[in-house]
Amino acid sequence: MRHVVVALVAVVVAGACGTSGGGTGTADGRPRVVASFYPLFEAATRIAGGHAVVSNLTPAGSEPHDLELTTRQVDHIEDASVLLFLGRGFQPAIEKAAARAKGAKVDVLGELGSLLPAPAAGTQLTIDPHVWLDPRLFTAIVGRVAGALAGADPANRASYEANAGAYMRELDDLDSAFAQGLRSCDRRVMVTSHAAFAYLAARYGLTQEAVAGLAPESEPSPQRLASLAAKVRAEGTTTIFSETLVSPKVARALAREAGVTTAVLDPLEGLSGADAKAGKTYVSVMRQNLATIRTALGCR
Ligand SMILES: [Zn+2]
């Protein structure tokens, strides 16, 4: 508390220069929240509503898998009031730096606990990290993020909770739209680029066949591509989904081999600078994804 008072006095004297005063908060006494990648950044920004300063470690338009950190970012992590990240091998550099963080550390994947199914056999990662693509798991994450902000800044708890509540209602509507929109479809197999949509598929009764593994850079073998092409023909699949932040080369090769088309399905691992500028959000991109899936699977 004394730090806050001292910081406030300093702001008055210095004329609110807006630079961080070191330690865990900003010069004007607000908590500094550091999010490891886009979905956590958006959740924290919505919940903070200006009461906290939120930054994103993954640059716009970059893939978050295996993100490498600059020295400056490591310092940011150390000094954050709240660090939000997704553990178990998704971004190992952040997990390593988190060991030295002075503020609250929230591994949202670890905190989902019993909500998560067991990891798929034979996967490199101990568990599939793509929890944010299931609107209901993402709602649980939003609840954890709100708790972390309230813990770091109890004076604004009511505001954080109200903001989280409003956001969660939007996510609830999104979940209903998915459940309703994917209820009655001609096909239920979605062929994706990397294996990012298993939680979403499981939630709404679909099956995911991924061209690559849990990480986007893993290349499929020619045998895997051939067996996928055979499956695509057998299932009557019309569309191979490519992604926003990864080259569509492999998805296009498979589509060509199987004689089908491609469409972009956004795994929301990050927004491009243009998408962010255009005002796209988790909910708007997910609604776009729903429309894309409905077309591909022939849903009514
Ligand atoms: Zn991924």
CATH number of the domain bearing residue 274 = 3.40.50.1980
- Give me 264's structure tokens: 């972009």
* Position 7 pLDDT exceeds 60: no
Q: Per the structure, how many domains does the chain have?
A: 2
Q: Are residues 26 and 118 in the same domain?
A: yes
Q: Are residues 123 and 234 in the same domain?
A: no
Where would I find the H helices in 118-212? 135-152, 157-181, 198-203
Tens of pLDDT, residues 112-146 = 988 887 666 665 556 899 999 999 999 999 999 99
Q: Is residue 232 included in any domain, yes or no?
A: yes
Q: How far, in Å, from the CA of 149 to the mean position of ligand 1? A: 26
Last residue of some domain: 104, 121, 156?
Answer: 156
Q: Are residues 265 and 121 in the same domain?
A: no
pTM of the model: 0.89
Q: How far, in Å, from the CA of 199 to the mean position of ligand 1? A: 12
Q: How far, in Å, from the CA of 130 to the mean position of ligand 1? A: 6
Q: How far, in Å, from the CA of 75 to the mean position of ligand 1? A: 26
| Domain that includes residue 211, residue range | 178-297
* Position 50 pLDDT exceeds 90: yes
Q: Are residues 152 and 184 in the same domain?
A: no
Q: How far, in Å, from the CA of 153 to the mean position of ligand 1? A: 32
Where would I find the H helices in the chain? 2-14, 38-48, 71-79, 92-98, 108-112, 135-152, 157-181, 198-203, 222-235, 249-258, 273-277, 282-297
Residue 7 to residue 253: CA distance in whole angstroms:
58
Tens of pLDDT, residues 169-190 = 999 999 999 999 999 999 999 9
Residue 115 to residue 159: CA distance in whole angstroms:
27
Q: How far, in Å, from the CA of 197 to the mean position of ligand 1? A: 9
Q: How far, in Å, from the CA of 268 to the mean position of ligand 1? A: 9
Q: Is residue 22 included in any domain, yes or no?
A: yes
